[in-house]
Amino acid sequence: MAKSEYSAQQIQVLEGLEPVRKRPGMYIGSTDIRGLHHLVYEIVDNAIDEAMGGYCDTITVMLHDDGSVSVEDNGRGIPVDMHPKLKRPALEIVLTTLHAGGKFGGDDSGYKVSGGLHGVGSSVVNALSIFMRAEVYRDGKIYVQEYSRGKPTMDMKVQGKTDKIGTKIIFKPDKDIFDTVDFSMDMLMTRLRQQAYLTRGVTIALLDERPKRPEDDLKHPRLYRFHFEGGIAAYVLHLNESKDRIGSPIWFEKDTSDGMVEVALQYTQAFQEIVVSFANNIHTSEGGHHLTGFKAALTRTINAYARAQSLLKEKEENLTADDVREGLTAVVSVRLKEPQFEGQTKSKLGNAEMKTAVETVVNEKLAQYFEEHPGEGKEIVGKCMLAARARLAARAARDSVIRKGILEGMTLPGKLADCSSKDPSECELFIVEGDSAGGSAKQGRNREFQAILPLRGKILNVEQARLDKMLANNEIRSLIIAIGVGIGEAKDLTKLRYDRVVIMTDADVDGAHIRTLLLTFFFRYFPELIEAGHIYIAQPPLYKISRGKEARYAFSDAEKEGVLKEWGVDAQQMQETEEEQPEEVNEEEALVKAVKNKEVRKTARASVQRYKGLGEMNAEQLAETTMNPDSRSMLRVTMEDAEKADATFTTLMGSEVAPRRKFIQTHAKTVKNLDV
């Protein structure tokens, strides 16, 4: 066989913004809904850079009825003069060229600190938009230029006069690139509020002008306006609003030779920690050297204070990093001139010098705070020492219960019906509510790769329990042993026994409660499994619709109505028949229905059966609708917004009653098909 020719002709050269359209994921992370919103974040980041430089105090984001988005700021406005070398307006260069912008200049005329340091943000948004329009308000004039897929469709021109200053970017994402082009108010609101907390004094407005809004956005008002004079101290209060707090937020900042360090922290009586880090207002979800420096300084400072105040005796061990972070909520924000981010999505800060900078500032300022507020300092140390005692108790419980079970050959839970395959990548575990559903699931499963673990009743609420108490619970202990990765310090994710862990509960209030308890358990103690996409929620059908020998399953009321409409059945007539039926049926029929705990509605053409529990389905039905990979539907649990998830779990499962009551009152009107 002849060798294939490899010459200059095989080398593909992508000019301008072609590389962005060729592989958009390299620049915005993905082309799903997260990548779509990343476009808005890039433009907003540029406006935030102006605000951090002191040039801008108002940013407005608008969702328009044609699917486009506009971001306007009152900063200095993108330069519009001709570039001396390229002989094109600076505006055009910034929006059509990678790595062009005011963030690469060597003098102070550009940006001292910047979030969009890669300099590709605006041009990437342009490349991935079917239409973009830039309006710059400078020198009393309005400068305009339009583009399509990264290329100018007109020369820059002056289009009228104005008293405003700033920049307005309007863009419409290319639906050929993205999986969806529908923006979410929820995602935008969360991000913009976060930016307003981080940039003290700036006002950020979000306005939804769309006449037809996505269903998920109907719960939101059309206008949000964020302005927080308290900055990240207010952010910490926001994160702790549903928790029992210790004192007021501790806030300090200091300008160092390596950059500005700003920290806000507050302890709560909860067991979980929330530490959020930022570099130049960019959320560093994977942390970095600034976060490492903060954690090291926190442990050292609290131990030093505890020793100095004789709160820790000579013979007692130092508090560990886990001890001092139990119940901690903190925001760490640094600003530096030349940050080194990993990847365009900037999830980790690589500047080693920021570890020393943050460590020095926290050591100094936190020690000073404790000296000035001895009562609060001693209360915080007391909280940490309580965590240390609980850690030692939990270690003893874990060593005797979990470590034996996994490392010394303790048998798997007796009620676990395991699968025969030993390859974790193809195995899945169904966590089933109750023995009745467990029986149907065991009969309907594929024994080769599907395992069943029935739970008896509702598991312990781990939001309000320490690890030692949790490990004493039989149902949780069985679950931990079945999954196989251990817990706490002994956790080893390589020992995961099932690639998919599926929560399968009834479609009623009790089932939803059990599902929430299980999700709380995984979120608090196995977030890595959620992040890696191992946790799923089964979707059993709500209805079985029969007509003669034909049967269809519906997973929602809308789907049921669609089937009935397709079959030409009058759904309204069926509803009336159902309401009148109790007066016409005899006692024997009513008794049978009560025992079976289900509703059957009949007309001359079809019958509808409402499943109130998995146990009502026989093994064949359960397998066909909920377990068979070829026909089932499952939801994968994600960590899309860990901050919001944490707040929700704290509200629903925490010890504070008032926030839970408020949550129920707020959402009561949106609940459909509530079984009482």
Task: Kindly list the catalytic residues.
Answer: 433, 506, 508, 510
Q: Cα(20)–Cα(18) distance, rounded to whole angstroms? A: 5
Residues 6+ apart with CB under 8 A from 521: 459, 462, 476, 479
3-state secondary structure 60-91: EEEECCCCCEEEEECCCCCCCCECCCCCCEHH
Q: Cα(220)–Cα(224) distance, rounded to whole angstroms? A: 9
Q: Cα(542)–Cα(401) distance, rounded to whole angstroms? A: 39
Q: Cα(529)–Cα(535) distance, rounded to whole angstroms? A: 7
Gyration radius from the chain CA atoms: 29
SS3 537: strand
Angular region, 458: left φ>0, alpha ψ -120 to 50, beta rest: beta
Q: Cα(382)–Cα(388) distance, rounded to whole angstroms? A: 10
Say which residue the tokens 């009336």 belong to. 576
Say which residue the tokens 């308000």 belong to. 137
10 Å Cβ neighbour count for 510?
15
Q: Cα(492)–Cα(487) distance, rounded to whole angstroms? A: 8
For residue 552, how many C-alpha atoms fall within 13 Å in the half-sphere facing its CB? 16
The one-letter code for the residue type at 430 is F
- Cβ(505)–Cβ(511) under 8 Å? yes
Q: Cα(32)–Cα(53) distance, rounded to whole angstroms? A: 32
SS3 575: helix
Residues 6+ apart with CB under 8 A from 54: none
DSSP state for residue 417 in the 8-state scheme? B
Q: Cα(81)–Cα(53) distance, rounded to whole angstroms? A: 21
Q: Cα(676)–Cα(670) distance, rounded to whole angstroms? A: 16
Q: Cα(257)–Cα(179) distance, rounded to whole angstroms? A: 45
